[in-house]
Amino acid sequence: MHNKSNDLIFVGTFEAPLDQDPDFNKVEKELNRLRTRRQIIPSFAHVFQSNFSFLFMNIRSLPLNLPNIVSNFLFQKCSLLMFVETMTLPHDDLTIPGYQVIHRNDCPSNKRKFGWGNIVYIRNNVDCEVLESWVETYDTGHTEGVAVAYNNFVIIFGYKSPSVKTKSIIRFLREKVCKYNSSSVILVGDYNMDINPRTPVTGNQFLALMGEIGFRSLLPKEIASINSGTQIDVAFANSKMTPKAVFSSATFRA
């Protein structure tokens, strides 16, 4: 081997060295992040009329996912947005351009954020009213919910901690929908319960109780409703409601 650079001879295949390890390449890292990033998928959307629709979702931290909502076309098409498990605190800025907050329930404290919080957004110039809201606490967890009215429609949505027994909530929910049954009512939520006909007794009881007052499930029969791993397990409407569109998804993790 000669000691002059112009006399160097390469034997075999030459592969030029990389500028830097791809693991540390900023562009490559960003592309990998976008490929693996979990996207927000709406859990339930319902179209009442051509000019009004609503969307419900277990958001699993609204501050974390707010940028996705602001930039998501489907969210921006809805007149009414309703979220549970917002995990928000009073100082959080939750502004969505073109919408106003008509109800907000933040977490009790920074140490009690998981599973807590709900919020209702209404598009500007849409007339909508919050009829009531509630938080029920148990030794093992809590339930929370909101009833919202638009014209002759009432939407009741909420959340139940997985540790709260289903039998503690099914009659409470039935009483809520009966209260507004003279209107067109939808009950929707993430109540962490099994209500598929093939599931435990409490699920069958809930289906029977809702059927007695003229409510039917809006979830596709092929989608099993289970008490964990789903965004939405309750979606019922009374006989006055004729659904035009229903969308559902299985899971969401922040």
Residue 248's contacts (CB-CB under 8 Å, 6 or more residues apart) are 43, 44, 219, 220, 223, 231, 232, 235
CATH 3.60.10.10 for domain 43-248 = yes
Q: Which residue has the higher pLDDT, 94 or 172?
A: 94
User: Ranked by mean pLDDT, which of 21-30, 129-138, 207-216, 231-240 comes out on top?
Assistant: 129-138
Q: How confident is the model at residue 248 (pLDDT cuts 50, 70, 90)?
A: very low
pLDDT, one tens digit per residue, over 71-123 is 888 788 889 999 999 999 999 999 999 999 999 999 988 777 778 999 999 99
Which residue(s) pair with 155 in the sheet? 148, 186
| Residue 95 dihedral angles phi and psi, to the nearest 5° | -65, 130
